[in-house]
Structures are given as C-alpha cells and as structure tokens.
Amino acid sequence: MIIENQDQMLQSVFAEARQDLDGEAITARVMAKTRRQLYLLAAGVLSLVAALLAGTWLVFGLPLLEFAVLISQFLTMTLVDLGEGWLALVFMPVNNIASLFIVTAKAIHMGWKKIIGVSFTA
Amino acid sequence: MHKAQDYYPDCPEAFLVSLARTGDRKAFAELVRRRQSPIRNLMRRCCNDYTLADDLTQQVFLKVWLGIRKLRKASAFSGWLKRVAVSVWLQHIRKKDALGDAGEMTGNELPQHDTTGMVLDLDRALVKLPNTVRLCVVLSYHEGMSHREIAKLIQMPLGTVKTHIRNGAQQLQQLLSAYGNPSEVESP
C-alpha cells in the first residue's frame, strides 16, 4: 500500500508493531456489556409503561369510574312506579330504561330486517 | 445437530453485519472477535496504555452495537467501525481536555505484556507527539489512510493534516532513528 510520500522506515516500524491479539476475553466483556445494555433498556421500557399506566389511571381513572356509575344509575331507573311489593320484584328486570333501550333496539333491528326482506322479495 | 451459529466463523462479514443489524448477538460477537485486534492496535498506538486501549475498544463496540441498526449498507461496516473508533478516541481526548488533564501523555502508561522492544519504542515515541499530530500520524501510517480521508474523518483542513503528518513523521524519524540503520538496532 503506497500512501502519499510515506517514510519507508516508519512504515515498516508501524507494520511490525501491528499485533494479532487474542480476542476471546475482550469479546466476552463486550457481549456482557451489550447484555447489560439490553437489560437496562428492558427495565427502562417497563418503567415507562408502568409510569404511563399509572399516569393514565390518575388522570382518567376516577372520572371514568364516576361516569360509569352515573350511566348505570341512569339505566336502572324504573319506568313505571310499582311500589315495593312482589309485582315490583317480578317486573324489575324489564321495568327500567336499559330494557327499554334493548326492546327499542330489537324492534328497530327486526323492522330493518323486514324492510330489507320486503325489498328483496319485491 | 449443528446450529446455524456454529457456521458463523466461516461466514462473510457482510452476512454477519446483516444478521447483527437484526439483533443477532452471536453474529455480533463474531464480528467483535474478528475486528477487535485492529481496533485495539489502533487504540494502543493512540494512547500507549493497554488497559485504556481495551476500555476504549469496548466502548467502540458498544457504540457499534447500539448503532448497527442504522447502518444502511453492510459493506460499509469497515469504514464505519473506523469512524466510530476515531470518534471514541477524540471524545476521550476532549474529556481529558475538559478535566484539565490535556497535557500530553507522560509515557508512564507503559505496555505491560506481549510487547517487543520495537513496539515499546514506537509507543514511547508516539506519546511524545501532541494528541492531534499523533492521531494523524497513526491514521496515516497505521491505518494506511490517505491525507484526504484523514481530513474528512477528523474534520480538519487538509493542509493542517498534511503539516501534522509531516511534522509528526519527522519527530518519529528522529526518535526512532535506530530502526533506520540496522547496525544500531539492539538485538533482542
């Protein structure tokens, strides 16, 4: 290899100084460091996920819970006041806003299917 | 039954680089095994402290491991590795500068083992050169890089690099003059 005006003596000294060094020990040390790096990365990612989850719960957890309670209170409101006797107990599963929604949705679904069916037969 | 990894020592480097880019640690270990010797030699010439040279070599390969996914071409690995090595060395020098320990090495950090008299003499002579001059001389004579390549690598004007190499080589010639005249060389 001829590089710009290099001194021959220095070239040969540098060439002779180049040693073929055994690499097992240093390879093991490098790989141990890369493994440690991997563990650190995994620990960092886990910590970040945990922090994000905790933060999300702190910000949105309580409002969501309150909202769910409000919805469930609204859906279980009775449609007709039947007092507190056995009749109220019998009709309790259907005597609320939730069941009204379900019945309405079912009726719309059936009506829609009927309309579609009619259009096909026509 | 043989595992795929058993064949890594016989694989071409570009293939190993491609595997390492996908996170294959065994392939990367094979790359380290193959490339550690030139990098350690480079660091030894730069710092004349074999323990420090090994520490810096480990830093180089750790940086390579962290950045290898960004390497676009597997064939560019060799040049990239050299760039990382030089940048680790420059960072080390800057850190020493920042700590007020910028003085040139004293030569007390002598090699401990596996050294011939000539290697010792070369490393002792290199230590007497200023850091940047030494780096330019080592990259030119040890790594066989052209002046233009060195200027690009260490981001220094071409003229400055040429001057550093000329001055450094002159100093080394004086310090190692015995090796220019075989009759003056001490027999081992």
User: Which one-letter DSSP state was computed for residue B105?
Assistant: P
Q: Do B65 and A11 touch (CB under 8 A)?
A: no
| B158-to-A6, B146, B147 alpha-carbon distances in Å | 16, 10, 7
- As given in the structure block, the two tokens for residue B20 are 């390492």
B124 in reach of chain A (CB within 8 A):
no
Does ipTM come in above 0.85?
no
Cβ neighbours of B180 in A, within 8 Å: 9
User: Rounded distance, CA B47 to CA B126, Å?
Assistant: 9
Same domain as A14, residue A59: yes
Distance from CA of A65 to the nearest CA of B (A): 43
Interatomic CA distance for residues B90 and B61, integer angstroms? 16
* pTM of this structure: 0.68
> What is the number of structural domains in chain A?
2
List the 74-113 stretch of B: residues with Cβ below 8 A of A. Answer: none
Task: Based on the fold, state whether residues A48 and A96 are members of the same structural domain.
Answer: no
When comparing pLDDT for B158 and A3, which is higher?
B158
> Secondary structure of A70-116 in the HEC alphabet?
HHHHHHCCCCCCCCCCHHHHHHCCCCCHHHHHHHHHHHHHHHHHHHH
Question: Do residue A90 and residue A104 come from a single domain?
Answer: yes
- With contacts defined as CB-CB under 8 Å, which chain A residues touch B172? 10
Residues A42 and A97 in one domain: no
Q: How far is B100 from chain A (nearest CA, A)?
A: 29
Residues A2 and A49 placed together within one structural domain of the fold: yes
Write out the residue range of the structural domain in which residue A68 sits.
Answer: 1-75
Cβ pair B58:A17 closer than 8 A? no
Cβ atoms of B176 and B121 within 8 Å: the answer is yes
| pLDDT given at position A94 | 87
Claim to verify: residue A9 and residue A36 sit in the same structural domain: yes
Query: What pLDDT tens digit does each residue of chain A (122 aa) get?
Result: 445 667 788 888 888 888 888 888 999 999 999 999 889 999 999 999 999 999 998 889 888 899 999 999 999 998 888 888 888 888 888 889 999 999 999 999 999 988 887 665 55
**pLDDT number for residue B74:** 86
